[in-house]
Amino acid sequence: METIISIKPLIAVLVSICAVPLLILSKRSNIRETWTFVAAGAKFLIIISMLPAILNGNQIVYTLAEVVPGAAIKFRVDPLGMLFALVASSLWILTSAYSIGYMRKLKEHSQTRYFCFFALALSATIGVAFAANLLTLYLFYEMLSLATYPLVTHHQDKEGRASGRKYLTYILGTSIGLLLPAMIISYNVAGTLEFANQGFLAGTCSKGLVTMLLVFFIFGFAKAAIMPFHGWLPAAMVAPTPVSALLHAVAVVKVGVFSIVRVLTGVFGIELLSTLDLGLVICVAASFTIIVASLIALTQDNLKRLLAFSTIGQLSYIVLGVGLLSPKGMTGGILHIAMHAFGKITLFFCAGAIFVATGKRNISEMVGIGKRMPLTMAAFFIASLSIIGLPPTGGFWSKWYLVLGSLEAHQIAVLVVLLTSSLLNAAYFMPVVYKAFFCTPEESMFEDKVQEAPAFCLVPLMITAFVTVMFFFYPQPFFRLATMVVKGITGG
């Protein structure tokens, strides 16, 4: 376990920011999109290039500037961050491809702005992934909130305006109102903000204060959409589908949960939480969210809203997994970051593809669509399997470890929650697939001829679907990273 000083993390963060001027300056749309691809590819390669070092148990550190004594703008690449960065950057490539297809087909306005802020959002995401202390994390967290605002409100119509407001109110409100004070308080009691494997709050403050901070942090990261701060996520579904796909299935919400995981492990530390048995608080909040979100999802007819609520539920799996404070549970939770990402993005891609090809948004209008877009719906089916947590998909592993973790922690209630929610997941996904494929010709709403979305849309979702399956047979390297993380934080 040695520490490498390298500027790579900074580059990885900055590369897409650097792309922004190029995007603005490029005259023709083709050039612009080429730049997007270049940036995405570069980012991915840089991050991959750091992977081996991490897998060998090293960590890469780079300090930009010491802004506040004890809290610098500093990057540290460790397994957890690596895992998240890998997911985000690899998915950016696919999403760029997808969004090109989507935006062009629908002739959206001001695409340059769209791609610019997309790039910014990605930088922020990687920044969060590699943040070495709470300050840096907060910095990029805020940057992400602001960068995604124009994306969420891309259409600039009444609806977009309303949801944009809601989005900012939730995200900024919580981050300024809860997160900032919590951060400053912990800085004042601990004198540092540096993430430590065992957390830095241990032994610095009373139980009451710790509990308060915990609550502040968990709800402060409203991007994790833990109830009651979940309202923005369904509202944000007015955004163009690629945005929803990347940001609201991967970047934004995952940044939320990722931050929570970071804080729980790096600020509080597992020992502290288990000695004060605060894990229960987390579990309760998470379980509640899981069940309620799944129930709400049952009632949705708009496909994207359904996916949104399912996301809310799935995010809490991750929090729950860490909240169990048991090695296996944490492994499951962390794995779920990756698994759910691929599964959910596939689903969003499908939803988008359906919209692009047929202009349909609601499930009730999709009867028999399987005949029309077999590939898309096949991908949809696989992805939903992964979300439910059935083999042969990656989702199975994460779910499996969560279950093991709940047993390990002797939390039968949690086990029940997990199983129920899986059933509920099945209950809201299967009808869609069923209706799509098995219906009599007369109740089908589409004439019986295959007509898929444009290739730019189709290929990415095929890839992600394939990857989901692949993860079942080959969960490396994510599995390895996850175990390393757990080994690190449990000191085992």
User: Site residues (CB under 8 A) for other proteins?
Assistant: 64-69, 72-73, 107-109, 135, 138-139, 142-143, 146, 150, 153, 155-158, 161, 164-165, 168, 172-173, 176-177, 180-181, 184-185, 187-188
What is the DSSP track for 104-151?
HHHT-S-HHHHHHHHHHHHHHHHHHHHB-BHHHHHHHHHHHHHHHHHH
Alpha-carbon distance of 475 to 303, in angstroms, equals 29
Residue 208: CB minimum distance to other proteins, A: 15
Name the residue nearer to other proteins (CB basis): 61 or 415: 61
* Nearest distance from C-beta of residue 139 to other proteins, angstroms: 4
CB of 105 to other proteins, least distance (A): 13
d(CA 367, CA 354): 12
CA dist 400 to 369, 406, 485, Å? 32, 10, 18
- Of 216 and 446, the one with the shorter C-beta distance to other proteins is 216
CB 243, min distance to other proteins, A: 15
Nearest approach, Cβ of 150 to other proteins (angstroms)?
8
Nearer to other proteins, 45 or 176 (CB): 176
- The Cα–Cα gap between 327 and 329 comes to 5
Nearest to 376 by CA among 273, 454, 476: 454
Shortest approach of other proteins to residue 20 CB, angstroms? 12
Question: Which H or E run includes 455?
Answer: helix 455-473
In angstroms, what is the minimal distance from the CB of 473 to other proteins?
43
Indicate the helix (H) or strand (E) that contains 332. helix 327-358
How many CA atoms lie within 13 Å of 268's alpha carbon, on the beta-carbon side?
34
Task: Tell me whether residue 240 or residue 395 sits nearer to other proteins (CB atom).
Answer: 240
The least CB distance from residue 107 to other proteins, in Å, is: 7
The closest of 47, 65, 202, 88 to 136, measured between CA atoms, is 65
Query: Is there a contact between 262 and 141 (Cβ–Cβ < 8 Å)?
Result: no
Closer of 168 and 276 to other proteins (Cβ): 168
- Cα–Cα distance between 225 and 276 in angstroms, integer? 25
- Between 172 and 215, name the residue whose CB sits nearer to other proteins: 172
Q: Which is nearer to other proteins, 180 or 419 (CB)?
A: 180
How large is the angle between the packed helices 412-437 and 279-299, nearest 10 degrees?
20
**End-to-end Cα separation, the chain, in angstroms:** 14
* Residue 214 or 238 having the CB closest to other proteins: 238
Measured between alpha carbons, how far is 464 from 206 in angstroms, rounded to an integer? 47
Closer by beta carbon to other proteins, 355 or else 396: 355
Comparison of 189 and 276: residue with beta carbon closer to other proteins: 189
Shortest Cβ 142–other proteins spacing (Å):
5
Closer CB to other proteins, residue 11 or residue 139? 139
Q: Is 67 helix (H, G, I), strand (E, B) or coil?
A: strand
Cβ contact 23:120 at 8 Å:
no
Nearer to other proteins, 35 or 216 (CB): 216
Closest distance between other proteins and the C-beta of residue 359, in Å? Answer: 13
User: What's the rounded Cα separation, in Å, for the pair 108 and 113?
Assistant: 11
**From the CB of 22, what's the least distance to other proteins, in Å?**
17
Within 13 Å and on the Cβ side, how many CA atoms surround 482? 27
Q: Which residues, 6 or more positions from 46, have their beta carbon under 8 angstroms from its beta carbon? A: 8, 11, 12, 15
In whole angstroms, how close is the CB of 35 to other proteins at the nearest point?
Answer: 20
- The C-alpha atoms of residue 362 and residue 283 are separated, in whole angstroms, by 33
228 upstream amide cis, omega within 30 of 0? yes
- In the three-class reduction of DSSP (H, G, I as helix; E, B as strand; rest coil), residue 374 is classed as helix
